[in-house]
């Protein structure tokens, strides 16, 4: 299974106010393993960045002057996302901004779900931890994911942290496939261990010899002198 953990940074909080995407960060998971493949782009939004947003992510308009605009990178982005399941924290926000960008450029498939499925980890966290704080920072602390290098929000570092949080949230025994030829998948955190199941292997039963059985009984007799012998069910 291929999953892309995605995060964005923006010029502000609302597409209705004309705010734009300025950073996209993605990391790839295949069968619950981080593969090392990433997609990362800064984007020129052709507009100012709200002061509040800049305090969060530390990106200024001057930082983005030489960066490409969304239509210039859209095909490579969609190719990276194609056919995957997107894992996004507060997906409504990021999906809304990306779809807004697709609509602005009049892309023929402006719905992100035309290109990939979407899993919202915020909704998942709220189901698992009702009544608790479920921000990415809170989940990092809850699942002991090291976020000490994260001074400001950044799309790529947040995507990497979310990937590790998601694997921890959904860890434990992932499947119990007793009739599966491939084995039993028991993923914990980001690690996945597969125990092979070989149908060509035969169970070998080795019975004790008469001498071994007699020696065993003699040992139990000696143990019985000190009290009831549990090994005989007494």
Tokens describing residue 97: 């901004």
Angle at which helices 121-128 and 155-169 cross, to 10°: 40
Q: Where are the beta strands (DSSP E) in the chain?
A: 2-10, 21-30, 33-42, 85-88, 117-120, 184-185, 194-195
| Strand partners for 230 | none
Please confirm, yes or no, whether 89 is among the known catalytic residues: no
Q: Please compute, for residue 120, the number of CA atoms within 13 A of its CA located in the half-sphere on the CB side.
A: 14
Sorted by sequence, the CB contacts under 8 Å of residue 193 that are 6+ apart come out as 185, 186, 187
d(CA 82, CA 87): 13
Active site residue: 19, 100, 115, 153, which one? Answer: 153
Closest alpha carbon to 116 in 20, 33, 39: 39
* Residues in the chain, overall count: 234
d(CA 74, CA 12): 21
Q: Are 184 and 176 in contact (CB under 8 A)?
A: yes
Determine whether 69 is exposed, middle or buried from the number of CB atoms within 10 Å of its CB (0-12, 13-18, 19+): middle
By annotation, the residues acting in catalysis are 153
């Amino acid at each position: 299974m291929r999953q892309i953990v995605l995060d964005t940074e923006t010029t502000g909080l609302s597409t209705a106010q004309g705010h734009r995407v300025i950073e996209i960060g993605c990391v790839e998971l295949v069968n619950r393993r981080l593969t090392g493949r990433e997609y990362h782009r800064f984007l020129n939004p052709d507009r100012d960045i709200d002061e509040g947003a800049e305090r969060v992510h530390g990106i200024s308009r001057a930082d983005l002057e030489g960066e490409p605009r969304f239509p210039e990178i859209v095909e490579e982005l969609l190719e990276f996302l194609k056919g995957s399941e997107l894992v996004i924290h507060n997906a409504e926000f990021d999906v809304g901004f990306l779809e807004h960008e697709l609509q602005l450029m009049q892309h023929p498939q402006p719905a992100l779900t035309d290109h990939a499925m979407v899993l919202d980890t915020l909704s998942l966290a709220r189901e698992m931890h009702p009544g608790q704080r479920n921000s990415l920072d809170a989940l990092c602390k809850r699942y002991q994911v090291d976020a000490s290098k994260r001074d400001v929000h950044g799309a790529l570092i947040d995507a990497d942290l979310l990937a590790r949080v998601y694997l921890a949230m959904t860890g434990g025994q992932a499947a119990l496939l007793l009739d599966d030829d491939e084995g039993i998948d028991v993923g914990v955190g980001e690690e996945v261990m597969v125990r092979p199941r070989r149908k060509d292997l035969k169970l070998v039963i080795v019975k004790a010899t008469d001498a071994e059985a007699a020696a065993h009984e003699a040992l139990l007799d000696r143990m019985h002198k000190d009290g009831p012998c549990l090994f005989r069910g007494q």
